[in-house]
């Protein structure tokens, strides 16, 4: 039997604390995954076996949920996180071109969400509840509605110089 991979103690501590707090909840997997990501910024793949064991699930089940939801990250995010809504209303009002603009400016292509310098992540999201004020983005947790190419550039100017 192979030895499980070692991981930094802080990751073990975080996962243990989240499991102690949430593993007993009905449908605990999503609350646990949210807790781990909230604490670490992502869900390290090496934590999947421990989460699966604690919740009496298979590793494939846990991994399947992590990869199904765009919200969950398997790698650390950049220092700044830009999320661009790609749901219907925002798509109809220019979100795809905003996403392309951000990716081109920051050097993130569709497969690589992290800029080369690690300064920014660009992530798609699917409805932020601001459909009446589309297109909408979130930068570092702050919502911005009625986004335009000019306003997006101004926002990224601030985070690029920070
Ligand atoms: S579709 Fe973008 S906020 Fe709802």
pLDDT tens digits along 57-75? 999 999 999 999 988 999 8
The CA distance from 8 to 3, in Å, is 16
81 CA from centroid of ligand 1 (Å) = 18
pLDDT at 1 over 60: no
71 CA from centroid of ligand 1 (Å) = 15
| Predicted confidence band of residue 96 (pLDDT cuts 50, 70, 90) | very high
pLDDT at 3: 43
Domain 80-161 fold: Glutaredoxin (3.40.30)
pLDDT at 9: 62
Ligand 1-lining residues (CB < 6 angstroms): 85, 87-90, 127-131, 134, 136
* Ligand 1 atom showing the smallest separation from residue 85 Cα: 2
3-22 pLDDT tens trace: 444 556 699 999 999 999 99
Greater model confidence, 125 or 118 = 125
Report DSSP letters for the chain, one per residue: -PPPPP--HHHHHHHHHHHHHHTTSTTTHHHHHHHHHHHHSS--GGGHHHHHHHHT--HHHHHHHHHHSTT--SSPPPSEEEEEE-SHHHHHTTHHHHHHHHHHHHT--SS--B-TTSSEEEEEES--S-GGG-S-EEETTEEE-S--HHHHHHHHHHHHH-
pLDDT (mean) for 133-145: 96
pLDDT (mean) for 65-93: 93
Q: Specify whether the CB–CB gap between 102 and 53 falls below 8 A.
A: no
121 CA from centroid of ligand 1 (Å) = 20
């Amino acid at each position: 039997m192979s030895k499980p991979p070692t991981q930094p103690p802080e990751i073990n501590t975080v996962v243990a604390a989240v499991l102690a707090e949430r593993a007993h909840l009905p449908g605990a997997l999503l609350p646990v995954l949210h807790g781990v990501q909230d604490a670490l910024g992502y869900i390290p793949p090496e934590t999947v076996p421990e989460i699966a064991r604690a919740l009496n699930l298979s590793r494939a089940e846990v991994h399947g949920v992590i990869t199904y939801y765009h919200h969950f990250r398997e790698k650390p995010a950049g220092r700044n996180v830009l999320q661009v809504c790609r749901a219907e209303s925002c798509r109809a009002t220019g979100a795809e071109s905003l996403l392309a603009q951000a990716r081109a400016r920051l050097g993130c292509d569709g497969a690589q969400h992290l800029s080369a310098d690690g300064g920014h992540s660009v992530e798609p999201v699917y409805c932020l509840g601001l459909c009446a004020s589309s297109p909408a983005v979130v930068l570092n947790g702050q919502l911005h509605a009625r986004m335009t190419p000019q306003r997006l550039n101004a926002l990224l100017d601030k985070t690029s110089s920070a």
